């Protein structure tokens, strides 16, 4: 009997997590073992996980990082939740500690102090894991073009709801954003090396790649990060941009303050060019979503707030373009 089989045989309670916060299509369930231990089991594969398919993964990257011991090298104050992982046919099975209410999720905000705690831990990881890139990470060109129209058109046959929404979002983006910025963003989506090239020439390290608050838990002794399947080798500033992309409205601090705290953590090692490129990458990543929210949300107040958010990202992109930082 394998260790994996032994663990599954000890399950005495199962509760499917149909309403979990993830968007990948993976199946999650909360289980109880015969000794009272509470765990969460995640099953994922390219057949259900859009991000795995569009980035060419056949096995969960989180599983590979755990198996290679990379996650065990995280610095004090930062952790992961995995306790076991294995392959079951074409599925990857990930067994995690049940972090319960420690996970921030979509439903609450965090203070500036909590945000600093998160970024202090993340910066320690970025400093500590610089060096040689682990095998099997998401290629940087794929990460910055995850929602490229060409990728999403190919996914329409999958029946997943997200590709159609992405394509609609890019159509609206082209209607409401300045032509210069639209051309640059679409150019980077069509030829991602224009953006990935200059980013890859900046000092890089392991980044989580999906540092949204649905993947963050504040435990007593550490910050714990979930779902490492978009881990990438990139400048730390890209981690910041992707964080601001999805979480700015959940932080009780302005974007300016979060960026200032990031600069302060890096001190003399801060790379302003990488930051400018990363903030452009933020618009390339989720410009479609921001355009949808700015034009289609049923609440006028939300539309106004989301339009202001989109305008901030467009202004950042214009600054990057003015500095001529993209490859031709």
How far apart are alpha carbons 244 and 318 in whole angstroms?
Answer: 17
Predicted pLDDT at 2: 53
Q: Measured between alpha carbons, how far apart are the two ends of the chain, in Å?
A: 57
Does 327 fall in a domain? no
CATH number at residue 42: 3.30.200.20
Residues 140 and 272 placed together within one structural domain of the fold: yes
Does 158 fall in a domain? yes
How far apart are alpha carbons 71 and 83 in whole angstroms?
Answer: 11
What's the token pair of residue 78?
């930062």
Residues 93 and 163 placed together within one structural domain of the fold: no
Does 58 fall in a domain? yes
Residues 124 and 59 placed together within one structural domain of the fold: no
Domain edge (last residue) among 100, 115, 132: 100
Does 328 fall in a domain? no
Residues 91 and 111 placed together within one structural domain of the fold: no
Predicted pLDDT at 116: 98
* Closest C-alpha to 105, from 10, 304, 234, 246: 246
Residues 108 and 96 placed together within one structural domain of the fold: no
User: 51, exposed or middle or buried, with CB in 10 Å at 0-12, 13-18, 19+?
Assistant: buried
pLDDT digits (tens, 9 = 90+) for 21-48: 445 678 899 999 999 999 999 999 999 9
Domain that holds residue 44: 3-100
Does 299 fall in a domain? yes
How far apart are alpha carbons 101 and 45 in whole angstroms?
Answer: 27
The strand pairing partners of 252, in sequence order, are 111
Task: Judge contact between 81 and 219, C-beta under 8 A.
Answer: no
Residues 121 and 95 placed together within one structural domain of the fold: no
CATH number at residue 253: 3.90.1200.10
Residues 162 and 222 placed together within one structural domain of the fold: yes
Does 129 fall in a domain? yes
Residues 162 and 274 placed together within one structural domain of the fold: yes
Predicted pLDDT at 1: 38
- Which phi and psi (to 5°) does residue 133 adopt? -75, 130
Tally of domains in the chain:
2
Does 261 fall in a domain? yes
Dihedral angle sign, alpha carbons of residues 284, 237, 71, 139: positive
- For the chain (length 328 residues), average pLDDT per consecutive 10? 69 82 74 95 94 94 97 97 94 96 95 98 98 95 98 92 96 98 98 98 98 97 97 98 96 98 98 98 98 93 94 98 96
Does 162 fall in a domain? yes
Domain edge (last residue) among 100, 123, 155: 100
Residues 80 and 109 placed together within one structural domain of the fold: no
Domain edge (last residue) among 45, 80, 100: 100
Predicted pLDDT at 24: 63
41: helix, strand or coil: strand
Residues 190 and 305 placed together within one structural domain of the fold: yes
45: helix, strand or coil: coil
Residues 146 and 230 placed together within one structural domain of the fold: yes
Residues 109 and 213 placed together within one structural domain of the fold: yes
How far apart are alpha carbons 312 and 307 in whole angstroms?
Answer: 9
pLDDT above 90: percentage of residues in the chain:
91
């Amino acid at each position: 009997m394998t260790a994996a089989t032994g663990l599954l045989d000890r399950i005495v309670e199962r509760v499917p997590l149909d309403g979990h916060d993830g968007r990948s299509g993976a199946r999650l369930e909360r289980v109880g073992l015969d000794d009272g231990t509470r765990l969460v089991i995640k099953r994922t594969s390219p057949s259900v996980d859009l991000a795995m398919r569009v980035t060419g993964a056949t096995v969960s990257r989180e599983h590979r990082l755990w198996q290679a011991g990379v996650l065990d090298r995280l610095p004090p104050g930062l952790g992961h939740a995995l306790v076991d992982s294995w392959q079951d046919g074409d599925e990857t099975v990930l067994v995690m500690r049940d972090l319960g209410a420690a996970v921030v999720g979509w439903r609450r905000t965090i203070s500036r102090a909590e945000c600093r705690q998160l970024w202090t831990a993340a910066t320690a990881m970025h400093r500590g894991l610089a060096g040689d890139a682990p095998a099997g990470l998401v290629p940087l060109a794929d990460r910055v073009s995850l929602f490229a129209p060409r990728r999403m058109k190919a996914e329409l046959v999958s029946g997943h709801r997200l590709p159609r929404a992405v394509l609609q979002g890019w159509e609206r983006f082209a209607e409401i954003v300045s032509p210069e910025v639209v051309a640059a963003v679409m150019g980077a989506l069509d030829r991602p090396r224009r953006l990935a090239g200059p980013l890859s020439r900046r000092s890089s390290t392991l980044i989580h790649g999906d540092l949204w608050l649905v993947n963050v838990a504040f435990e007593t002794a550490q910050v714990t990060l979930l779902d490492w399947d978009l881990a990438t080798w990139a400048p730390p500033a890209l981690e910041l941009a992707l964080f601001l992309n999805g979480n700015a409205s959940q932080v009780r601090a302005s974007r300016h303050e979060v960026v200032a705290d990031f600069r302060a953590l890096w001190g003399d090692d801060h790379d302003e060019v990488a930051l400018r490129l990363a903030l452009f990458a933020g618009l390339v990543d989720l410009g479609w979503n921001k355009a949808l929210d700015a034009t289609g949300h049923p609440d006028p107040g939300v539309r106004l707030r989301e339009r202001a958010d989109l305008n901030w990202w467009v202004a950042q992109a214009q600054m990057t373009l003015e500095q001529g930082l993209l490859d031709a």
